[in-house]
A = this chain, B = another copy of it.
Protein backbone atom coordinates (compact mmCIF):
# COMPACT_ATOMS: atom_id res chain seq x y z
CA UNK A 1 0.00 0.00 0.00
CA UNK A 2 2.71 2.45 0.92
CA UNK A 3 4.44 3.95 -2.05
CA UNK A 4 7.13 1.36 -2.65
CA UNK A 5 8.14 -0.69 0.33
CA UNK A 6 11.76 -1.59 0.53
CA UNK A 7 12.64 -5.24 0.97
CA UNK A 8 15.46 -7.26 2.35
CA UNK A 9 17.01 -7.16 -1.06
CA UNK A 10 17.12 -3.37 -1.08
CA UNK A 11 18.82 -3.29 2.28
CA UNK A 12 21.27 -5.96 1.16
CA UNK A 13 22.20 -3.98 -1.90
CA UNK A 14 22.63 -0.82 0.09
CA UNK A 15 24.98 -2.48 2.54
CA UNK A 16 26.66 -4.72 0.02
CA UNK A 17 25.88 -8.03 1.69
CA UNK A 18 23.63 -10.94 0.89
CA UNK A 19 19.91 -10.98 1.58
CA UNK A 20 20.18 -13.80 4.02
CA UNK A 21 22.72 -11.88 6.03
CA UNK A 22 20.28 -9.04 6.35
CA UNK A 23 17.54 -11.42 7.33
CA UNK A 24 19.71 -12.87 10.08
CA UNK A 25 20.88 -9.49 11.29
CA UNK A 26 17.35 -8.19 11.63
CA UNK A 27 15.93 -11.24 13.30
CA UNK A 28 16.65 -11.04 17.06
CA UNK A 29 16.72 -14.78 17.11
CA UNK A 30 19.62 -15.08 14.67
CA UNK A 31 21.22 -11.73 15.33
CA UNK A 32 24.10 -13.31 17.23
CA UNK A 33 25.34 -15.06 14.11
CA UNK A 34 26.39 -11.77 12.61
CA UNK A 35 29.45 -9.61 13.21
CA UNK A 36 28.56 -6.64 15.34
CA UNK A 37 29.92 -4.16 12.88
CA UNK A 38 28.07 -5.47 9.88
CA UNK A 39 24.90 -5.91 11.87
CA UNK A 40 25.13 -2.28 12.84
CA UNK A 41 25.49 -1.18 9.25
CA UNK A 42 22.51 -3.29 8.33
CA UNK A 43 20.46 -1.80 11.12
CA UNK A 44 21.28 1.68 9.93
CA UNK A 45 20.50 0.97 6.32
CA UNK A 46 17.23 -0.67 7.21
CA UNK A 47 16.28 2.41 9.19
CA UNK A 48 17.36 4.72 6.41
CA UNK A 49 15.32 2.79 3.87
CA UNK A 50 12.44 2.45 6.31
CA UNK A 51 12.46 -1.29 5.82
CA UNK A 52 9.43 -3.17 7.08
CA UNK A 53 9.20 -6.91 6.86
CA UNK A 54 6.49 -8.13 4.54
CA UNK A 55 3.93 -9.94 6.64
CA UNK A 56 2.62 -12.04 3.81
CA UNK A 57 6.02 -13.37 2.86
CA UNK A 58 6.79 -14.06 6.48
CA UNK A 59 3.55 -15.94 6.91
CA UNK A 60 3.99 -17.89 3.73
CA UNK A 61 7.40 -19.02 4.87
CA UNK A 62 6.72 -19.65 8.54
CA UNK A 63 3.08 -20.59 8.62
CA UNK A 64 2.48 -18.07 11.36
CA UNK A 65 0.33 -15.04 10.78
CA UNK A 66 0.91 -13.25 14.04
CA UNK A 67 -2.81 -12.80 14.13
CA UNK A 68 -5.37 -14.08 16.59
CA UNK A 69 -9.10 -14.23 16.21
CA UNK A 70 -11.46 -12.99 18.89
CA UNK A 71 -14.93 -14.41 18.59
CA UNK A 72 -17.74 -12.68 20.46
CA UNK A 73 -21.50 -12.92 20.20
CA UNK A 74 -21.88 -9.20 19.61
CA UNK A 75 -19.38 -6.44 20.10
CA UNK A 76 -22.16 -3.97 20.85
CA UNK A 77 -22.96 -5.87 24.03
CA UNK A 78 -21.00 -3.74 26.45
CA UNK A 79 -19.66 -6.67 28.38
CA UNK A 80 -17.35 -7.64 25.54
CA UNK A 81 -15.37 -4.54 24.61
CA UNK A 82 -13.32 -4.54 27.81
CA UNK A 83 -12.45 -8.17 27.23
CA UNK A 84 -11.41 -7.46 23.67
CA UNK A 85 -9.42 -4.50 24.85
CA UNK A 86 -7.60 -6.69 27.34
CA UNK A 87 -6.72 -9.20 24.67
CA UNK A 88 -5.47 -6.54 22.28
CA UNK A 89 -3.40 -4.77 24.87
CA UNK A 90 -1.71 -7.98 25.93
CA UNK A 91 -1.01 -9.02 22.37
CA UNK A 92 -0.10 -5.79 20.62
CA UNK A 93 3.48 -5.48 21.76
CA UNK A 94 4.08 -9.16 21.12
CA UNK A 95 3.48 -8.31 17.50
CA UNK A 96 0.05 -9.86 17.24
CA UNK A 97 -2.94 -8.24 15.63
CA UNK A 98 -6.49 -9.05 16.55
CA UNK A 99 -9.34 -10.03 14.27
CA UNK A 100 -12.68 -9.45 15.96
CA UNK A 101 -15.76 -11.23 14.65
CA UNK A 102 -19.38 -11.42 15.77
CA UNK A 103 -21.48 -14.56 15.80
CA UNK A 104 -24.73 -13.12 17.15
CA UNK A 105 -24.83 -16.27 19.21
CA UNK A 106 -26.11 -18.18 16.21
CA UNK A 107 -24.63 -21.62 15.83
CA UNK A 108 -24.48 -21.80 12.06
CA UNK A 109 -23.00 -18.33 11.83
CA UNK A 110 -20.40 -19.35 14.37
CA UNK A 111 -19.37 -22.20 12.12
CA UNK A 112 -19.01 -19.90 9.12
CA UNK A 113 -17.08 -17.37 11.13
CA UNK A 114 -14.67 -19.89 12.60
CA UNK A 115 -14.21 -21.25 9.14
CA UNK A 116 -13.26 -17.87 7.75
CA UNK A 117 -10.89 -17.30 10.62
CA UNK A 118 -9.22 -20.64 10.23
CA UNK A 119 -8.92 -20.06 6.49
CA UNK A 120 -7.07 -16.86 7.26
CA UNK A 121 -4.72 -18.96 9.29
CA UNK A 122 -4.98 -17.20 12.60
CA UNK A 123 -2.43 -18.46 15.09
CA UNK A 124 -4.96 -18.82 17.85
CA UNK A 125 -8.47 -18.10 19.01
CA UNK A 126 -10.05 -16.32 21.94
CA UNK A 127 -13.67 -17.34 22.03
CA UNK A 128 -16.34 -15.67 24.10
CA UNK A 129 -19.28 -17.17 22.32
CA UNK A 130 -19.07 -20.82 23.23
CA UNK A 131 -21.85 -22.97 24.51
CA UNK A 132 -21.26 -25.73 27.00
CA UNK A 133 -21.28 -28.27 24.23
CA UNK A 134 -19.58 -26.83 21.23
CA UNK A 135 -18.65 -29.18 18.43
CA UNK A 136 -17.01 -26.52 16.29
CA UNK A 137 -14.65 -25.50 19.05
CA UNK A 138 -13.88 -29.06 19.96
CA UNK A 139 -13.03 -29.86 16.39
CA UNK A 140 -10.67 -26.93 15.99
CA UNK A 141 -8.98 -27.72 19.28
CA UNK A 142 -8.65 -31.29 18.11
CA UNK A 143 -6.83 -30.05 15.02
CA UNK A 144 -4.32 -28.42 17.30
CA UNK A 145 -5.52 -24.85 17.04
CA UNK A 146 -4.62 -22.96 20.22
CA UNK A 147 -7.89 -21.88 21.83
CA UNK A 148 -8.91 -20.14 25.01
CA UNK A 149 -12.49 -19.48 25.95
CA UNK A 150 -13.29 -16.37 27.95
CA UNK A 151 -16.10 -15.60 30.31
CA UNK A 152 -17.72 -18.87 29.43
CA UNK A 153 -16.24 -22.33 29.28
CA UNK A 154 -17.11 -25.55 27.57
CA UNK A 155 -17.84 -28.64 29.58
CA UNK A 156 -14.88 -30.41 28.02
CA UNK A 157 -12.08 -29.63 30.49
CA UNK A 158 -9.36 -30.04 27.89
CA UNK A 159 -10.20 -26.61 26.50
CA UNK A 160 -8.39 -23.78 28.27
CA UNK A 161 -10.54 -21.02 29.73
CA UNK A 162 -10.41 -17.80 31.70
CA UNK A 163 -13.61 -17.10 33.54
CA UNK A 164 -14.97 -15.25 36.54
CA UNK A 165 -15.98 -16.96 39.73
CA UNK A 166 -19.67 -17.29 39.01
CA UNK A 167 -20.43 -19.44 42.01
CA UNK A 168 -18.72 -17.11 44.45
CA UNK A 169 -20.56 -14.15 42.98
CA UNK A 170 -23.93 -15.76 43.50
CA UNK A 171 -22.98 -16.81 47.00
CA UNK A 172 -21.93 -13.28 47.89
CA UNK A 173 -25.14 -11.91 46.51
CA UNK A 174 -27.26 -14.37 48.45
CA UNK A 175 -25.34 -13.57 51.61
CA UNK A 176 -25.96 -9.88 51.02
CA UNK A 177 -29.65 -10.47 50.55
CA UNK A 178 -29.98 -12.63 53.65
CA UNK A 179 -27.97 -10.12 55.65
CA UNK A 180 -30.65 -7.51 55.00
CA UNK A 181 -33.46 -9.82 55.87
CA UNK A 182 -34.53 -11.51 52.67
CA UNK A 183 -35.57 -15.13 53.06
CA UNK A 184 -37.74 -15.70 50.04
CA UNK A 185 -35.78 -15.14 46.89
CA UNK A 186 -36.88 -15.70 43.34
CA UNK A 187 -34.53 -15.99 40.40
CA UNK A 188 -34.32 -15.19 36.73
CA UNK A 189 -31.79 -17.68 35.46
CA UNK A 190 -29.86 -17.56 32.22
CA UNK A 191 -29.53 -19.93 29.31
CA UNK A 192 -28.54 -23.30 30.74
CA UNK A 193 -26.60 -24.12 27.60
CA UNK A 194 -24.09 -21.48 28.57
CA UNK A 195 -21.64 -22.16 31.34
CA UNK A 196 -22.44 -18.84 32.99
CA UNK A 197 -26.15 -19.55 33.01
CA UNK A 198 -25.62 -23.03 34.32
CA UNK A 199 -23.06 -22.25 37.00
CA UNK A 200 -24.90 -19.25 38.36
CA UNK A 201 -28.10 -21.19 38.62
CA UNK A 202 -26.45 -24.17 40.24
CA UNK A 203 -24.84 -21.84 42.76
CA UNK A 204 -28.20 -20.24 43.44
CA UNK A 205 -29.78 -23.58 44.25
CA UNK A 206 -26.81 -24.79 46.26
CA UNK A 207 -26.18 -21.75 48.39
CA UNK A 208 -29.82 -20.90 48.90
CA UNK A 209 -30.17 -24.32 50.48
CA UNK A 210 -27.01 -23.84 52.52
CA UNK A 211 -28.28 -20.53 53.82
CA UNK A 212 -31.65 -21.99 54.66
CA UNK A 213 -33.47 -19.78 52.22
CA UNK A 214 -36.69 -20.40 50.45
CA UNK A 215 -35.41 -20.36 46.92
CA UNK A 216 -38.53 -19.01 45.33
CA UNK A 217 -39.90 -19.47 41.85
CA UNK A 218 -37.39 -19.53 39.04
CA UNK A 219 -37.79 -18.46 35.44
CA UNK A 220 -35.31 -19.33 32.75
CA UNK A 221 -34.46 -16.67 30.22
CA UNK A 222 -33.75 -17.81 26.69
CA UNK A 223 -31.23 -15.06 26.14
CA UNK A 224 -29.30 -12.74 28.41
CA UNK A 225 -31.18 -9.63 27.35
CA UNK A 226 -33.59 -7.01 28.62
CA UNK A 227 -36.64 -8.37 26.83
CA UNK A 228 -36.28 -11.78 28.39
CA UNK A 229 -35.65 -10.21 31.76
CA UNK A 230 -38.87 -8.26 31.47
CA UNK A 231 -40.81 -11.30 30.33
CA UNK A 232 -39.50 -13.45 33.16
CA UNK A 233 -40.20 -10.80 35.75
CA UNK A 234 -43.73 -10.55 34.42
CA UNK A 235 -44.18 -14.28 34.78
CA UNK A 236 -42.78 -14.28 38.28
CA UNK A 237 -45.17 -11.56 39.35
CA UNK A 238 -48.08 -13.27 37.67
CA UNK A 239 -47.14 -16.55 39.27
CA UNK A 240 -48.31 -15.31 42.62
CA UNK A 241 -45.42 -16.79 44.54
CA UNK A 242 -44.11 -15.00 47.62
CA UNK A 243 -40.69 -13.44 47.47
CA UNK A 244 -39.02 -10.18 48.41
CA UNK A 245 -36.07 -10.23 46.08
CA UNK A 246 -35.25 -11.37 42.57
CA UNK A 247 -31.76 -12.53 41.75
CA UNK A 248 -31.03 -12.10 38.06
CA UNK A 249 -28.33 -14.03 36.26
CA UNK A 250 -26.94 -10.88 34.70
CA UNK A 251 -27.37 -7.12 34.52
CA UNK A 252 -29.33 -7.03 31.29
CA UNK A 253 -31.92 -9.41 32.69
CA UNK A 254 -32.06 -7.23 35.79
CA UNK A 255 -32.56 -4.09 33.75
CA UNK A 256 -35.41 -5.71 31.89
CA UNK A 257 -36.85 -6.91 35.17
CA UNK A 258 -36.74 -3.39 36.60
CA UNK A 259 -38.62 -2.16 33.55
CA UNK A 260 -41.32 -4.77 33.97
CA UNK A 261 -41.59 -3.95 37.63
CA UNK A 262 -42.09 -0.28 36.92
CA UNK A 263 -44.57 -1.04 34.18
CA UNK A 264 -46.76 -2.69 36.84
CA UNK A 265 -46.51 0.24 39.16
CA UNK A 266 -44.21 -1.47 41.63
CA UNK A 267 -41.13 0.11 43.06
CA UNK A 268 -37.62 -1.18 43.48
CA UNK A 269 -36.28 -1.56 46.10
CA UNK A 270 -39.31 -0.68 48.24
CA UNK A 271 -41.53 -3.44 46.92
CA UNK A 272 -38.91 -5.79 45.62
CA UNK A 273 -35.12 -5.96 45.60
CA UNK A 274 -33.45 -6.82 42.29
CA UNK A 275 -29.86 -7.85 41.69
CA UNK A 276 -27.67 -8.22 38.63
CA UNK A 277 -24.36 -9.75 37.63
CA UNK A 278 -21.43 -8.27 35.65
CA UNK A 279 -21.49 -4.61 36.68
CA UNK A 280 -21.91 -3.36 33.18
CA UNK A 281 -21.10 0.26 32.40
CA UNK A 282 -23.83 2.68 33.43
CA UNK A 283 -25.70 0.36 35.77
CA UNK A 284 -24.51 2.66 38.52
CA UNK A 285 -26.43 5.51 36.89
CA UNK A 286 -29.76 3.86 36.23
CA UNK A 287 -32.78 4.20 38.46
CA UNK A 288 -32.34 2.57 40.88
CA UNK A 289 -28.58 2.00 40.71
CA UNK A 290 -28.09 -1.72 40.39
CA UNK A 291 -26.68 -3.94 43.09
CA UNK A 292 -24.53 -6.40 41.20
CA UNK A 293 -21.37 -8.47 41.02
CA UNK A 294 -18.37 -6.83 39.46
CA UNK A 295 -16.26 -9.04 37.24
CA UNK A 296 -12.81 -8.16 35.94
CA UNK A 297 -13.61 -8.06 32.28
CA UNK A 298 -10.46 -6.40 31.09
CA UNK A 299 -8.37 -8.74 33.19
CA UNK A 300 -10.20 -11.74 31.79
CA UNK A 301 -9.19 -10.71 28.29
CA UNK A 302 -5.67 -9.85 29.29
CA UNK A 303 -5.08 -13.16 31.00
CA UNK A 304 -6.71 -15.09 28.21
CA UNK A 305 -4.16 -13.57 25.86
CA UNK A 306 -1.43 -14.77 28.18
CA UNK A 307 -2.75 -18.30 28.25
CA UNK A 308 -3.13 -18.22 24.50
CA UNK A 309 0.43 -17.02 23.99
CA UNK A 310 1.63 -19.90 26.09
CA UNK A 311 -0.24 -22.33 23.89
CA UNK A 312 0.79 -20.68 20.65
CA UNK A 313 4.44 -20.73 21.60
CA UNK A 314 4.39 -24.31 22.74
CA UNK A 315 6.39 -26.30 20.26
CA UNK A 316 5.10 -29.79 19.84
CA UNK A 317 3.01 -30.88 22.78
CA UNK A 318 0.27 -28.54 23.86
CA UNK A 319 0.60 -27.58 27.50
CA UNK A 320 -2.11 -28.92 29.80
CA UNK A 321 -5.28 -26.85 29.55
CA UNK A 322 -5.31 -24.07 32.05
CA UNK A 323 -8.52 -23.05 33.67
CA UNK A 324 -8.17 -19.65 35.25
CA UNK A 325 -10.89 -18.37 37.55
CA UNK A 326 -10.81 -14.70 38.50
CA UNK A 327 -12.33 -13.37 41.71
CA UNK A 328 -15.42 -11.16 41.69
CA UNK A 329 -16.68 -8.41 43.94
CA UNK A 330 -20.06 -7.55 45.41
CA UNK A 331 -21.23 -4.03 44.59
CA UNK A 332 -24.15 -2.91 46.73
CA UNK A 333 -26.24 -0.09 45.32
CA UNK A 334 -29.80 1.12 45.46
CA UNK A 335 -31.68 -1.78 43.94
CA UNK A 336 -31.49 -3.81 47.13
CA UNK A 337 -32.93 -2.80 50.49
CA UNK A 338 -34.00 -4.56 53.65
CA UNK A 339 -36.98 -6.78 53.15
CA UNK A 340 -40.17 -5.16 54.38
CA UNK A 341 -40.49 -7.24 57.51
CA UNK A 342 -44.21 -7.82 57.77
CA UNK A 343 -45.23 -7.08 54.25
CA UNK A 344 -46.24 -10.09 52.21
CA UNK A 345 -44.68 -10.59 48.88
CA UNK A 346 -46.41 -8.69 46.13
CA UNK A 347 -49.34 -10.40 44.53
CA UNK A 348 -50.46 -8.27 41.68
CA UNK A 349 -52.92 -8.99 39.00
CA UNK A 350 -51.30 -9.02 35.62
CA UNK A 351 -52.11 -6.05 33.47
CA UNK A 352 -51.62 -7.92 30.26
CA UNK A 353 -53.89 -10.88 30.53
**Is B98's CB under 8 angstroms from A99's CB?**
yes
- Among residues of B, the one whose C-beta sits closest to the C-beta of A124 is B1
- Among residues of B, the one whose C-beta sits closest to the C-beta of A118 is B2
In A60-103, which residues have CB < 8 Å from any B CB?
60, 63, 65, 74-76, 78, 81-82, 84-85, 88-89, 92, 97-102
Cα A222 to Cα B338 with chains together (Å)? 42
- Which residues from chain B contact A255 at a C-beta distance below 8 Å? 285
Cα A102 to Cα B74 with chains together (Å)? 18
**Is B100's CB under 8 angstroms from A2's CB?**
no
Interface status of A122 (Cβ within 8 A of chain B):
yes
Cα A116 to Cα B2 with chains together (Å)? 12
Interface status of A270 (Cβ within 8 A of chain B):
no
**Is B85's CB under 8 angstroms from A76's CB?**
yes
Q: Which of B55, B85, B89 interacts with A121 by CB under 8 Å? A: B55
In A99-144, which residues have CB < 8 Å from any B CB?
99-102, 116, 118-123, 143-144
- Which residues from chain B contact A144 at a C-beta distance below 8 Å? 1, 3
In A1-56, which residues have CB < 8 Å from any B CB?
1-3, 52-56
Interface centre among A54, A285, A286 (most CB of B within 10 A): A285
- Which residues from chain B contact A145 at a C-beta distance below 8 Å? 1-2
- Which residues from chain B contact A54 at a C-beta distance below 8 Å? 60, 121
A148 to chain B, nearest CB (A): 15
A323 to chain B, nearest CB (A): 23
Interface status of A281 (Cβ within 8 A of chain B):
yes
Interface status of A57 (Cβ within 8 A of chain B):
yes
- Copies of this chain: 2
From known contacts A56-B56, A120-B55, A121-B54, infer whether A99 and B101 are also in contact, taking CB-CB under 8 Å.
no
- Among residues of B, the one whose C-beta sits closest to the C-beta of A65 is B56
Cα A52 to Cα B57 with chains together (Å)? 18
**Is B98's CB under 8 angstroms from A100's CB?**
yes
Cα A2 to Cα B115 with chains together (Å)? 11
**Is B65's CB under 8 angstroms from A76's CB?**
no
A294 to chain B, nearest CB (A): 15
Interface status of A351 (Cβ within 8 A of chain B):
no
Interface status of A282 (Cβ within 8 A of chain B):
yes
Interface status of A155 (Cβ within 8 A of chain B):
no
**Is B99's CB under 8 angstroms from A99's CB?**
yes
Interface status of A310 (Cβ within 8 A of chain B):
no
- Among residues of B, the one whose C-beta sits closest to the C-beta of A84 is B75
Q: Which of B57, B123, B287 interacts with A285 by CB under 8 Å? A: B287
**Is B286's CB under 8 angstroms from A56's CB?**
no
Interface status of A179 (Cβ within 8 A of chain B):
no
- Among residues of B, the one whose C-beta sits closest to the C-beta of A75 is B81
Interface status of A59 (Cβ within 8 A of chain B):
yes
Cα A89 to Cα B100 with chains together (Å)? 11
In A153-197, which residues have CB < 8 Å from any B CB?
none
Cα A75 to Cα B99 with chains together (Å)? 13
Shortest Cβ-Cβ A-B pairs, 7 listed: A56-B59, A287-B287, A282-B282, A56-B60, A76-B81, A52-B119, A285-B286
What would be 13 A-B contacts, judged by CB atoms less than 8 Å apart? A2-B145, A3-B144, A55-B121, A56-B56, A56-B60, A78-B78, A78-B81, A78-B281, A85-B102, A88-B100, A285-B286, A285-B287, A286-B286
